[in-house]
């Protein structure tokens, strides 16, 4: 790798579509199978021989700064910066992260679950550079490409490439009807870019990589942008509570290949350290328990249940198809189904069912009734399907 290549992880968005889960932590620190999204990313970078990165993250306090630092593997140098709340778009945050002397940048949007071969990306860009390329953009083929948002547009940047790999067209979030068989490759939010191209497009009106650099170059300077297939990797956008839920359930069931934390794995049950599970309780796989989880007698946990560190489940409770973050207390004979419960929350509905619930951190749900909910209709279908042979 060129010694002047800098790794920059952009994760400074407020994650408003994920409220209330992102009210006290950045999106990149939300958990998938009890590990932060950022941790998976930094672990992959380190395994690829990349041992330093600059992280742009929203300022949510010292505790989250420590949490981000703890995501770094041993020997990995993570520099954290907090772009001001007035920063416009990804380019302004990136400019604040640029280190003196760097002439090439590996840029990663750190708010999505990602698996890719970073060395392959860098090597491909080196070859493209010899052909006059100034950027190499990773692409994938997401199954939700043609699912419209509220404005009738896809959530993805879309491109097409010619047989030599050069990008012939790029558009950020086009209308669904614009997507076609020859214009259907989605930006995987990982790219290598030369400082030369950034400097050429730098100015007060340029705020976003996709709209202000990639769209412009694909239109006016063909042959300077190249695409690279993500291959056996994947990118899974986590832009809403239901998408976070889906990512966790897919990873737990094996739909997404992730090396999530575990201490022991037996018969589809992964259990962390210092867990106390009553012999009178039943764990129905797949189940993932974090460290120091306590499950009292007469409980059923699973199928499709993830409990974060230090969760406590009182006697007779039932937890199915749900994600509980750290230190959640579940009351006696309380049933939770198809729900996300934020960290340090308490749910106690004796004899009742909490279903399709979305609770933020430090919440308390007592007695009867439901909390604000999210749409999980598609998740019900997902849980009934078999793992895919190829994820993209």
Q: Do 95 and 130 have their domain in common?
A: yes
Q: Do 217 and 271 have their domain in common?
A: no
pLDDT at 205: 66
The domain boundary, picked from 220, 237, 254, lies at 237
Ranges in the chain, pLDDT < 50: 1-3, 369, 377-392
Q: How many distinct structural domains can be found in the chain?
A: 2
Q: Do 217 and 112 have their domain in common?
A: yes
Q: Do 280 and 151 have their domain in common?
A: no
Token digits for 258?
Answer: 């992730």
pLDDT at 371: 55
Domain contains 255? no
Q: Do 171 and 38 have their domain in common?
A: yes
User: Are 201 and 216 contacting, i.e. CB atoms less than 8 angstroms apart?
Assistant: yes
Q: Do 21 and 148 have their domain in common?
A: yes
Domain ranges, residue 271: 263-383
pLDDT at 204: 60
Domain contains 257? no
Sign of CA dihedral 18, 21, 25, 28: negative
161-171 pLDDT, tens digit per residue, is: 999 999 999 99
Q: What's the burial of 267, exposed, middle or buried (CB within 10 Å: 0-12/13-18/19+)?
A: exposed
Other CB atoms within 10 A of residue 359 CB:
25
Tell me how far apart the alpha carbons of residues 321 and 388 are, in angstroms, rounded to a whole number: 19
pLDDT at 98: 85
Domain contains 217? yes
Tell me how far apart the alpha carbons of residues 64 and 53 are, in angstroms, rounded to a whole number: 17
Domain contains 203? yes
Other CB atoms within 10 A of residue 181 CB:
6
CA proximity to 67, closest of 52, 77, 80, 54:
80
Q: What's the burial of 322, exposed, middle or buried (CB within 10 Å: 0-12/13-18/19+)?
A: buried
Domain contains 57? yes
pLDDT at 327: 97
How do 269-271 and 234-237 pair as beta strands? Answer: unpaired
Domain contains 228? yes
Q: Do 67 and 165 have their domain in common?
A: yes
Q: Do 198 and 305 have their domain in common?
A: no
Specify the CATH number for the domain of residue 273.
Answer: 2.160.10
Q: Do 110 and 28 have their domain in common?
A: yes
pTM of the predicted protein model: 0.88
């Amino acid at each position: 790798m060129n010694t002047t290549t800098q790794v920059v992880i952009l994760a400074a968005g407020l994650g408003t579509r994920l409220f209330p889960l992102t009210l006290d932590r950045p999106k990149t620190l939300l958990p998938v199978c009890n590990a932060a999204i950022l941790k998976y990313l930094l672990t992959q970078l380190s395994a690829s021989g990349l041992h330093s990165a600059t992280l742009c993250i929203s300022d949510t306090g010292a505790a989250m700064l420590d949490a981000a630092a703890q995501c770094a593997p041993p020997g990995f140098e993570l520099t954290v910066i907090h772009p001001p709340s007035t920063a416009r778009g990804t380019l302004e945050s990136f400019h604040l992260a640029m280190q003196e002397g760097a002439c090439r940048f590996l840029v990663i949007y750190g708010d999505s679950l990602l698996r890719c071969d970073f060395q392959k990306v860098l090597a491909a860009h080196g070859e493209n550079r010899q052909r006059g390329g100034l950027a190499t953009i990773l692409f994938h083929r997401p199954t939700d490409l043609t699912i419209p948002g509220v404005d009738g547009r896809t959530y993805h940047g879309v491109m097409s490439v010619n047989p030599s790999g050069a990008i012939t067209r790029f558009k950020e979030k086009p209308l669904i009807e614009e997507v076609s068989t020859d214009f259907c490759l989605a930006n995987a939010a990982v790219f290598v870019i030369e400082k030369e191209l950034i400097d050429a497009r730098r100015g007060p009106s340029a705020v976003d990589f996709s709209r202000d650099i990639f769209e412009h170059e694909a239109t006016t300077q063909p042959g300077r942008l190249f695409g690279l297939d993500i291959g056996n990797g994947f990118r899974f956008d986590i832009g809403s509570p239901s998408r976070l839920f889906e990512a966790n359930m897919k990873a737990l069931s094996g739909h997404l290949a992730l090396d999530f934390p575990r201490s022991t794995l037996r018969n589809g049950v992964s259990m962390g350290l210092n867990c106390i599970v009553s012999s009178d309780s039943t764990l129905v796989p797949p189940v993932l328990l974090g460290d120091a989880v306590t499950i009292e007698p007469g409980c059923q946990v699973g199928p499709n249940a993830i409990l974060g560190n230090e969760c406590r489940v009182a006697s007779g409770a039932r937890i199915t198809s749900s994600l509980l973050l750290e230190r959640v207390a579940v009351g006696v004979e309380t049933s939770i189904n198809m729900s996300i419960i934020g960290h340090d929350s308490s749910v106690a509905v004796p004899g009742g069912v909490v279903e399709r619930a979305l609770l933020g951190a430090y919440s308390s749900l007592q007695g009867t009734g439901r909390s604000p909910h999210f749409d999980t209709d598609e998740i019900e279908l997902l849980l009934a399907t078999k793992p895919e042979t190829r994820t993209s």
